[in-house]
Structure 1
Amino acid sequence: MDNGFPKCSRLLKSADYSRVYKHGSKKVGRYLRIFCFPNGLRSARFGVSVGRRMGNAVKRNRLKRWMREAIRRNKGAIKSGLDIVIDPRLGVVIDNSRCLENELQMLLSSLNSAKEIGIFEESHPDLN
């Protein structure tokens, strides 16, 4: 399996992030929030968002590295055709990458059920 994180697997435009936040479904765990929305493509695309309230630049960049690494390790288990944005929850201290990766695995596995996502039964004007 390719362990890279190429541009075609990333959300790059702010409009993509806005669409996922505005129209997508949300899953919430102890450490993370995951937003997802169908993208009409054959592959999943990921975005990582860490706000300034999470700490200084060193802490924010560490969180982003940990989240990207967790995505790389688990991207084979993710349903294709989704745009996914991952946010850490405010006010929660994430001490190590292992607890973050475990929670990400749990949340991503719950996304694999289309009924649980609740977004595939209806048609979306953005995709037609």
Structure 2
Amino acid sequence: MRFSESLKKNSSFREVYKNGKSCVNRYFVMYVLKNNTERNRLGISVSKKVGNSVVRHHITRLVREAYRLQEEKFSSGLDIVVIARGASRKVTYQETEKALLHLGGLHHILRKEDEIF
């Protein structure tokens, strides 16, 4: 991730949950909060309810990779937390990418086509 960092601390996640806006689709919940920097911070949360550690780690890798490859489409200066829902257990990479872009569109955090490098 060239333009982003990972969101790691529990206090950072709680701050985004408390003050951020959320949107939902079939596979994920996305919380977004401005962070007053020039970089995005991405946090991914997958509950034990979704599956065992292999499944949870697989979903985390899918979300991280889908975000990494579409990173330039997202506005900068945001804390983004993606929470996997139960339906994401059998999600493919293409569905993950489409779901992330859909949530970005709902939050109005996608850049216009002419703004992309």
TM-score, structure 1 as length reference: 0.77
Structure-2 separation of matches of 1:97 and 1:70:
7
The answer to whether residue 45 in structure 2 is matched with residue 66 in structure 1 is no
Measure how far apart 1:5 and its partner are: 5.8
Structure-1 separation of matches of 2:108 and 2:87:
28
Q: Of Structure 1 and Structure 2, which has the larger fraction of its residues in strand?
A: 2
Measure how far apart 1:109 and its partner are: 2.8
2:45 aligned partner:
49
- Aligned match for 2:103, one of 94, 103, 107: 107
Question: Equivalent residue of 2:90, what SS?
Answer: coil
CA RMSD of aligned residues (A): 2.0
Total equivalences in the alignment:
110
TM-score, structure 2 as length reference: 0.84
The runs of at least 4 aligned residues of structure 1 exceeding 4 Å deviation read none
Query: Bigger radius of gyration, 1 or 2?
Result: 1
Alignment of 1:1-128 (within 5 A): 4=1, 9-91=5-87, 93-112=89-108
% identity of equivalent residues: 30
Task: For structure 2, list consecutive stretches of 5 or more residues without a partner in the other structure.
Answer: 110-117
Structure-2 separation of matches of 1:9 and 1:95:
24
Q: Deviations over 1:2-54 (max 9, x none)?
A: xx368x61112111100001111001011111001111111111000001111
